[in-house]
Amino acid sequence: MKIIRVDMTNLKVSYQDVPNYYNDYAGRGLIAKIMNDEVDPKCDPLGPENKLILAPGMFCGTTLVNTSRISIGCKGPLTNTIKESNVGGTIGSALGKHAIKAIIFEGQPLKKGPFIFHLSKEGKAEIIEAPEVGGLRTYEFARKIFSRYGEDNSLLCIGPAGENLMKIASIQSTDVDKNPCRAAGRGGVGAAMGSKHIKGIVVEHRADSLQEFADKSLFDAAAKRFAKAVMEHPFSSQLLPALGTAGLVGPVNAMGAFPSLNARIGVFEKWERISGEKLREIIEARKGNPTHLGCSQCIIHCSNQYLDRDGSYLTGSLEYETIWAMGAMTGIDDLDIIAQLDRLSDEIGVDTMSMGVAIAVAMDAGYRSFGDTRFALEVLEEVANNTEMGNIMGDGPLSVGRHFKNPRVPVVKGQSIAAYDPRAMQGNAVTYATSPMGADHTAGNVIGEYMSGRLDPLKPDGQVDASKNAQIAMAAVDSTGLCLFASFALLSPEGAQSMLDLIKAKTGKIVDENTLGLIGIETLRLERAFNRAAGFTAKDDRLPEFFYREPLPPHNTVVLIKDEDLAKALEF
Amino acid sequence: MKIIRVDMTNLKVSYQDVPNYYNDYAGRGLIAKIMNDEVDPKCDPLGPENKLILAPGMFCGTTLVNTSRISIGCKGPLTNTIKESNVGGTIGSALGKHAIKAIIFEGQPLKKGPFIFHLSKEGKAEIIEAPEVGGLRTYEFARKIFSRYGEDNSLLCIGPAGENLMKIASIQSTDVDKNPCRAAGRGGVGAAMGSKHIKGIVVEHRADSLQEFADKSLFDAAAKRFAKAVMEHPFSSQLLPALGTAGLVGPVNAMGAFPSLNARIGVFEKWERISGEKLREIIEARKGNPTHLGCSQCIIHCSNQYLDRDGSYLTGSLEYETIWAMGAMTGIDDLDIIAQLDRLSDEIGVDTMSMGVAIAVAMDAGYRSFGDTRFALEVLEEVANNTEMGNIMGDGPLSVGRHFKNPRVPVVKGQSIAAYDPRAMQGNAVTYATSPMGADHTAGNVIGEYMSGRLDPLKPDGQVDASKNAQIAMAAVDSTGLCLFASFALLSPEGAQSMLDLIKAKTGKIVDENTLGLIGIETLRLERAFNRAAGFTAKDDRLPEFFYREPLPPHNTVVLIKDEDLAKALEF
């Protein structure tokens, strides 16, 4: 394994050996480690001292199923915390095959650029000045890249939002069909990339993998067992292929936990118009693909391809969180409009969730009405055009709330919550409040406990532990390169044992049943250490005031977790 | 860290990178790993397929106290099992400073040699033909080496016994004063070295250490805390510096567990003549050093220098196990004779324990009387001279028992027990029977449980667990490079926490309170896997018949551990 270091100040690229004390770290864990080792926590996220780190998960580049996830890390421009944003597509697997443990972009060029980083099949790494691609939207940029470098490449890129350093800028990742439709959306990682004047990161595919194994035959056997466990979990093998993540609209709405109209109510009246069932109906009627292979190595196929009324491709994988943010939160109940907003977000390079919530906060302030589709579409163009209003919106919900004097801003550490209202899922309140990432459902979603009936979502009992366990598990999964949706296999004894065998066979690491949990705990410890050094205290681990004060219909509950219990959530 | 591979067939030396999947392994654990990866378990221990591996512990070459232990491994010529023999002196620390993870000697030369392996200060590794040193005893050989290469070297070497492939041949290690008086005694590792025609392994010292650390400041702080914990344990800080290991003669004899006259009785009538107190009295009277610094980095000073009646140096660190084997077992109650037998064993290069027990078995068979000092001294010369009787004796107790038709041979897997009778310390019965090393007190001595009163040594209850825990702990300690006597510090909460911090600071490994135990379990698993593949089964994990049948005075107990309970000892 090697680390590639890209000195953007001097535009030099070098390979370096991986210190053996990074052996236990990969993906999100490795980012936490490198950020603590190399980056001043008090630095300006958009300055030369910040670093942008790509780290494929431990199993990327192997034959294990669903291992195309790459972690992208930096000090987050949106959150000012340490930030890891995890994305699928094909680049994680591609970099894994190159046996690259991390790419670290550091410094800042004097030249405007922008620049493209390219890694050839043979491992030649270059940084190339490419002024002609400056300002391009992502789909056009991707077309140019694939025509220049060939189809056999993976791409990460930013759109105009990232180039203009907007705080909700995403990094887009191309899927199996070469569309830059998958996003490392959270925390403003796109602005960090933009601050280094990098427009695109291109990795040519290798046919063979350079990955080494401590025990190849054990790995192959365990990988087979793990794949079987993935296909035996009903969520991965039934709900996701059938309805995609949008399958959650119905159940979460039924629980009264679907934050609607800027989280004024927990059900969306027109939920059936934006449900997973409706989505599938539309896609099938237009002969699109409701069960699409989006990422390398995927056996779940939660993705979809949404076609417009003329049957042309409009956007890729319209997801639950996007449907919520652009739909329920803004009061827009038309999947065609939501799909357009999704495509525009991908094109311009912004996080659909933060963008939708920013729009909702503006509507909630009375600037426009809920359900104003024209406003929503206009906002995106303002962001693309870097106008004054575009900058206010592109810096996210907190910036919008400040501008319009609306204190009802559903964010923690500057980052918006996701499609689970913390008042109706008290465990997710704990995760939003205490995750080192700011509010983030992928940092420890407790929904599984509620859907299985193991925990009452409305009462405070047991929520801190549930969140803590989920946060540890997610920090570990985010270090493996495994897709969250394949990680349900870890809940079965066969899946859990296969994972231990996989870690041992890949790394030679001495393992027991605590191994994965320890990786998670270590990761969270490092992330919290970075945040503390950046100046964050326990008082930052709180939800906005209105979640404690304003009961959420229909259950009319508020967040009931006490501050002293929140403080226990990530005590190790 | 590097591995040095020495191809003895072609007399070629090469450096190689350490695969990252060896990161979790060092010392004994690394030997278990490499043996499983590279050596056919069914090979002839004295043939070209066997390998001789030196592996310093994890902390060798650092500033941590008492870290001069090196593991020497191979398929054991005496036991036919996997074999790790652990020795102090200065070479572990010296190789550690070179950042050498292992030296692997493989193949077999056509030339008789013998050969010397030399590693220069600058890291130049050579294999040198040196016919002029063939047949030398170890003290003379050491003098030649230090005069040829300078004082600033550490030496491992074999005597005539190893050159003549005797199964109880040791590898001798030079102490701080350049005397080759410390032995990797068990399992016949000296014969494995002899089979590769290597007479000496010489390592020149570096002033600075090439060791790298994941976190140097954490390491330094934890090393200080660990040293404090060592000095706070009464065994390390009081008994050992005062009386050396010989301080155990009194207590173990009092427990009726001191196997005497070939284990016919559990007390030695004349124990006061060979006790730690007597030893100190003699050494002090002759102005010798009873509290000697034997090994690099030692803060305990359990060693001693024994002078003859004229006040000249006779032997170094006369130890409890030697005093027992050469004294109580053979009925010799004269420390001057025992010291001579110790010096001769070191000179000729045989394990004092196996040698003493071999003599005792011959006496017990009626070939000579117990207490016959002349016979004992003659036997050593026969071994040195490679006579027919010398070969019978030099192949160890089992060979002697077979020759003299004496079934009372206190060995397991060919290797003699130590100075704790399994009938009066039932936990040590479990360790002797089940350790992958054959009978071996350093593989898991339960004496601490008896001396502290936590466990009744005569009853079977709790013994399997006690042995299992001790075996796991020792397998782990033998991977750290830490001296067994400094490992008592691990029993205190401060010492245990310091050790976790040390592992983390050295390797970057993600740790918790199970980490050290896991290293031990992994090591034992690998060792048992090797043995099973070599053909060993549960039926080999048994003590000799007479321990189950013949009650040991004064308690008149037999071994009470049932076969099915033995089978549980190393179930993981």
> In angstroms, rounded to a whole number, what is the distance separating the alpha carbons of residues B243 and B274?
12
Question: What is the average per-residue pLDDT within B201-206?
Answer: 98
**In 3D, which of A335, A439, A508, A322 has the Cα closest to residue B34?**
A508
Residue of chain A whose Cα is closest to the Cα of B214: A21
Six token digits for residue A485: 């949706």
Residue B572's pLDDT is what? 84
Six token digits for residue A431: 């995760």
pLDDT in tens, B38-87: 999 999 999 999 999 999 999 999 999 999 999 999 999 999 999 999 99
Interface test with B, best of A36, A503, A509 (most B CBs within 10 A): A509
What ipTM describes this predicted complex? 0.81
- In whole numbers, what is the pLDDT of chain B averaged over residues? 97
C-alpha B38 chain-centroid distance? 23
Residue A98's pLDDT is what? 98
Question: What is the average per-residue pLDDT within B397-424?
Answer: 98
Q: Is A112 exposed, middle or buried (0-12, 13-18, 19+ CB in 10 A)?
A: exposed
B510 and A CB contact within 8 Å: yes
Six token digits for residue A174: 């191309």
Contact B397, B387 (CB under 8 A): no
pLDDT in tens, B248-306: 999 999 999 999 999 999 999 999 999 999 999 999 999 999 999 999 999 999 999 99
Identity of the amino acid at B200: G
**In 3D, which of A87, A51, A47, A45 has the Cα closest to residue A483?**
A87
pLDDT in tens, chain A (572 residues): 999 999 999 999 999 999 989 999 999 999 999 999 999 999 999 999 999 999 999 999 999 999 999 999 999 999 999 999 999 999 999 999 999 999 999 999 999 999 999 999 999 999 999 999 999 999 999 999 999 999 999 999 999 999 999 999 999 999 999 999 999 999 999 999 999 999 999 999 999 999 999 999 999 999 999 999 999 998 898 889 999 999 999 999 999 999 999 999 999 999 999 999 999 999 999 999 999 999 999 999 999 999 999 999 999 999 999 999 999 999 999 999 999 999 999 999 999 999 999 999 999 999 999 999 999 999 999 999 999 999 999 999 999 999 999 999 999 999 999 999 999 999 999 999 999 999 999 999 999 999 999 999 999 999 999 999 999 999 999 999 999 999 999 999 999 999 999 999 999 999 999 999 999 999 999 999 999 999 999 999 999 999 999 999 999 999 999 999 999 999 88
Six token digits for residue A402: 């400040």
Kindly determine whether residue B23 and residue A518, on different chains, have CB atoms separated by under 8 Å. Answer: no
Residues of A in contact with B18 (CB under 8 A): 20
A507 and B CB contact within 8 Å: yes
Residues of B in contact with A213 (CB under 8 A): 21
Nearest to A24 among B19, B25, B508 (CB): B508
Contact A240, A300 (CB under 8 A): yes
Identity of the amino acid at B572: F
Residue B571's pLDDT is what? 87
What burial letters (b/e) apply to B463-493, b meaning 16+ CB within 10 Å?
Answer: bbbbbbbbbbbbbbbbbbbbbbbbbbbbebe
A22 and B CB contact within 8 Å: yes
CA atoms within 13 A on the CB side of B56: 29
Q: Is B151 exposed, middle or buried (0-12, 13-18, 19+ CB in 10 A)?
A: exposed
Kindly determine whether residue A23 and residue B20, on different chains, have CB atoms separated by under 8 Å. Answer: yes
Identity of the amino acid at A524: L
**Model's pTM, two decimal places?**
0.89
Phi and psi at A238, nearest 5°, equal -120, -65
What burial letters (b/e) apply to A256-272, b meaning 16+ CB within 10 Å?
Answer: bbbbbbbbbbbbbeebe
Write the DSSP assignment of B18-60 as a string of letters.
PPGGGTT--HHHHHHHHHHHHS-TTS-TTSTT-EEEEEE-TTT
C-alpha A526 chain-centroid distance? 19
Residue B204's pLDDT is what? 98
Cis peptide leading into residue A114 (ω within 30°): yes
What burial letters (b/e) apply to B100-124, b meaning 16+ CB within 10 Å?
Answer: bbbbbbbbebeeebbbbbbbebeee
Residues of A in contact with B25 (CB under 8 A): 508, 510
Residue of chain A whose Cα is closest to the Cα of B1: A20
Tell how strand A2-7 and strand A100-106 pair up.
parallel
Tell how strand A12-17 and strand A2-7 pair up.
antiparallel
Query: DSSP H helical segments within B300-351, as ranges?
Result: 320-323, 335-348
Residue of chain B whose Cα is closest to the Cα of A572: B512
Interface test with B, best of A2, A20, A572 (most B CBs within 10 A): A20
Secondary structure element (H or E) that encloses residue B204, with its range: strand B198-204
Phi and psi at B550, nearest 5°, equal -105, 105
Contact B259, B284 (CB under 8 A): no
Residues of A in contact with B211 (CB under 8 A): none
> A303 CB contacts (<8 Å, ≥6 apart)?
A175, A244, A291, A292, A293, A294, A295, A316, A317
Q: C-alpha angle with apex B544: B543 to B550, nearest 5 degrees?
A: 105
B514 and A CB contact within 8 Å: yes
Contact A401, A408 (CB under 8 A): yes
Residue A572's pLDDT is what? 85
